[in-house]
Structure 1
Amino acid sequence: MSKPAKPVKPVAPGPKLNQILAALPPAQCQCLLPDLELVEMPLGWTMSESGDHVRYLHCPVSGIVSLIYALEDGSSSEIALMGNEDLVGISIYMGGDSMPSSTEVQSAGQAYRLSRKVMKHEFEQGGKLQNLALLYTQALICQTSQMAVCNQHHSVEQQFSRWLLMSFDRLYSSKMQKDGLITKARGSITMVNRTRLEAQACECYAAAKEECERLLPPSRAKH
């Protein structure tokens, strides 16, 4: 009798699936490897609350994380979407101990994380990582500003189209079909015609995307 086949362990995603890490010089990325820890980001996980002392910088390789601002009356607003193009936990290198916003996983995925101590040390050395982190922060500020304007001045349909495009941009495993805009089944949404969806969205999506592409390496803008 033949022996039963052993289960094949899934191959762990490489850190270069995060576009910021991918843009680092190979030697610098190699030096960071011992300090990069792959972690799961389950759906609904609150990575940090408003005012929390952030312990880790997360570099997502899949999934979507929302930056959320909550008001005293209990209402809240999503002010940014982050995925495999982004860094979660910028207060670590920007000099603050915390952020007034919280971060929550909207689509399950994985991320490589760096401890606060390691990231602060690497940032203080200057060089490419510092440069990318600062440019990324400027791009994030652009996104949050654009979303604030969008939420106040554009229709719900335009906002939803913009949100869908931003979400698919940040989903590493997103698929495209041929006809229509999107399909919806069993709680999932699939984009099936990106061109038409972009035409339906307001200018905020393109403005934020163009600024991101201007600031950061071309590899970061590829999806």
Structure 2
Amino acid sequence: MIHSAQPQTKTASSHQPTHNHLLNALSPEVQQRLFPHMELIEMPLGKVLYESGDVLRYVYFPTDSIVSLLYVMENGASAEIAVVGYDGLIGVALFMGGESTTSRAVVQSAGWGYRLRSQRMKDEFNRHGELLHLMLRYSQALITQMAQTAVCNRHHSIEQQLCRWLLLSLDRLHDNHLLMTQELIANMLGVRREGVTEAACRLHKHGVIDYSRGHITVTDRHKLEQLSCECYAVVKAETDRLLPYSKDKPASKKTATCH
């Protein structure tokens, strides 16, 4: 079993907008226009940033949190279509021609992030400068992740999906610590909770992870990548191609905590 555990307490004192890779990639000139309007917000586990159909009042830039984009069916069933961490932003529909989105955005790993009012973002985007080009490249990388996730969910085993999900999540955190409930993992993958538990047990037997009392430790990332399907490698390669800065992940521990 993957049990629940108490969330860790985090502070805002050390956070800066540049901890988000998209914001860090902008020139000082663009940063000076945007950063004064950035608001640091806490992003607790399970917080819904927007629901399907909501008008986007803000865009969000995670710094050490992870946000899951979910497609929700009429009967309440859901499945993850993408994950966003410090590599990106939440709210691409704003500058892709729409004011709302068909997905739900929910925090899957607690932390912090910055939000910016939609109009400020649109004003900068409409300058047709570097922000426009950066956002379009990021959007292409995100679309690739969405498409590959759809293929993975259709054709690959729960164990392979879990491997892909763990790797994508770890790539988007500075310290490799995940704050996650068992129910949320199942919701992300669109599978039963029992399926997640069985897949985690198999990974444990393979010597890839250890878990106890809500803590998952990735003991062999290389083997985790080998057990994953090709979907993870496709997404990572395209992201690195479009956004070269995404490869510059800080050195960190190898521990993921699943609550």
Same fold (TM over 0.5): yes
For structure 2, which runs of at least 5 residues remain unmatched after alignment? Answer: 1-10, 178-205, 250-259
Aligned ranges 1:53-132 → 2 under 5 Å: 53-132=55-134
Measure how far apart 1:157 and its partner are. Answer: 1.0
Measure how far apart 1:132 and its partner are. Answer: 0.7
Amino acid corresponding to residue 187 of structure 1 in structure 2: G
Distance in 2 (CA, whole Å) between partners of 1:106 and 1:214 is: 26
Q: Secondary structure at the match of 2:167?
A: helix
Please tell me the root mean square deviation across aligned C-alpha atoms, in Å: 1.6
For structure 1, which runs of at least 5 residues remain unmatched after alignment? Answer: 1-8
Measure how far apart 1:70 and its partner are. Answer: 0.9
Which of 242, 248, 251 matches 1:222?
248
Calculate percent identity across the aligned residue pairs: 49
Amino acid corresponding to residue 170 of structure 1 in structure 2: R
When residues 11 and 76 of structure 1 are mapped into structure 2, their CA distance, relative to the original with a 3 A threshold, is same
Query: 1:149 corresponds to which residue?
Result: 151
Give the greater-gyration-radius structure (CA): 1
Distance in 2 (CA, whole Å) between partners of 1:12 and 1:120 is: 28
Distance in 1 (CA, whole Å) between partners of 2:141 and 2:29 is: 25
Aligned ranges 1:120-199 → 2 under 5 Å: 120-174=122-176, 180-199=207-226
C-alpha contact 1:48 1:54 (8 A) present in aligned 2: yes
Moved over 6 A (4+): none
Q: Secondary structure at the match of 1:58?
A: strand
TM-score normalised to structure 1 length? 0.90
Measure how far apart 1:189 and its partner are. Answer: 1.8
Amino acid corresponding to residue 222 of structure 1 in structure 2: D
Measure how far apart 1:10 and its partner are. Answer: 5.8
Higher relative contact order (CA 8 A, sep 6+): 2
Measure how far apart 1:156 and its partner are. Answer: 1.2
C-alpha contact 1:136 1:215 (8 A) present in aligned 2: yes
When residues 12 and 138 of structure 1 are mapped into structure 2, their CA distance, relative to the original with a 3 A threshold, is same
Query: 1:48 corresponds to which residue?
Result: 50
Q: Secondary structure at the match of 1:78?
A: strand
C-alpha contact 2:12 2:112 (8 A) present in aligned 1: no
Q: Secondary structure at the match of 2:61?
A: strand
Aligned ranges 1:9-48 → 2 under 5 Å: 11-48=13-50
Distance in 2 (CA, whole Å) between partners of 1:191 and 1:34 is: 39
Measure how far apart 1:192 and its partner are. Answer: 2.0
Provide Cα deviations, 1:114-146, integer angstroms capped at 9, x if missing partner. 101100000000111111111111110000000
Distance in 1 (CA, whole Å) between partners of 2:112 and 2:210 is: 26
C-alpha contact 1:24 1:129 (8 A) present in aligned 2: yes
TM-score normalised to structure 2 length? 0.78
Amino acid corresponding to residue 136 of structure 1 in structure 2: Y
Provide Cα deviations, 1:16-51, integer angstroms capped at 9, x if missing partner. 111101111122213221111111111100110000
Distance in 2 (CA, whole Å) between partners of 1:142 and 1:68 is: 15
Distance in 2 (CA, whole Å) between partners of 1:30 and 1:183 is: 45
Measure how far apart 1:82 and its partner are. Answer: 0.8
Provide Cα deviations, 1:73-103, integer angstroms capped at 9, x if missing partner. 2211111111110110112111201111110
Aligned length: 211
Amino acid corresponding to residue 85 of structure 2 in structure 1: G
